[in-house]
Amino acid sequence: MKMKQYKKRKEVALPEPDKKPEKKSSWLGETTKYFLVSLGIFLIIIIFASTFFKPDLTGGLKIKESPIAKNKELAIKPGETYVYNYRINNTDNTLTFAIKSNAGCTFIQIKESTNITGACVDKNGNDKGGSNVSLEIAYISMFKPWMLAVEKDWKWNARMVIDAAGSDLDIQNISFKTIGEETLFGRESYVVEITDKKAKIIDWVDKEKRILIKEQGSGYKIELITAPFELNKTN
């Protein structure tokens, strides 16, 4: 009996689906929550507001500040560069802030960022947002407008509220107070404690330049490592 022969089927390789390029995560984005903590602003506020006050949040979130008396004008100058090390959960990264001249303001640029231009700051340390708690770009941790008001025994307060049907609902109270003076990295500094119900942060603010020398919080630390002046890391 003659057996019927079958041709071997040719295997055809199917084309692989187009691979989308992996989206690289920026460490700058990964650490947003730590910077927001340093401002006393928590993402939970947004969730809380949208869940419980959907119909009435016409005014949104607002920061109400106590009166503030600044005793020094902005001291950072065009041409200066400041580099900070950010240690978060035992991982180190750096950010570089370049100070530039701009029409009517001093411009603080984050060199590592491709999508954030920077902040245009006036002699009183404020950008167009006008807040003294922080600049509009919270990533700019090297300088906050309130730093121009720090002195011995200084105290200040800011409240975060939600406008709920025309009434202010307190979400967070942020308290600032000078708790001492210290020489850090060879720089005379004010030691400022920043607290709310959920966090406590310590800032060392340079007396002359009114910039951040060091910030210590839960799970993270920020330190100035390069500046237009000498830093003595032995003390």
Q: Strands 105-110, 61-65: parallel, antiparallel or unpaired by DSSP?
A: unpaired
Rounded Cα–Cα distance for residues 58 and 52 (Å): 13
pTM: 0.75
Q: Which residues of 80-111 are buried (b: 16+ CB within 10 A; e: fewer)?
A: bebbbebebeeeeeebebbbeeeeebbbbbbe
pLDDT at 24: 43
Q: What is the mean pLDDT of residues 102-108?
A: 93
Would the pLDDT of 190 be above 70? yes
Q: What is the mean pLDDT of residues 133-145?
A: 92
Question: How high does pLDDT run on average in the chain?
Answer: 80
Would the pLDDT of 215 be above 60? yes
Q: What is the mean pLDDT of residues 186-197?
A: 95
Question: Domain extents for the chain?
Answer: 27-226
Rounded Cα–Cα distance for residues 118 and 234 (Å): 32
Q: What percent of the chain has pLDDT over 90?
A: 57
Report pLDDT digits (tens) over 36-55. Answer: 444 333 333 332 333 333 33
pLDDT greater at residue 24 or residue 94: 94
Would the pLDDT of 35 be above 90? no
pLDDT at 107: 96
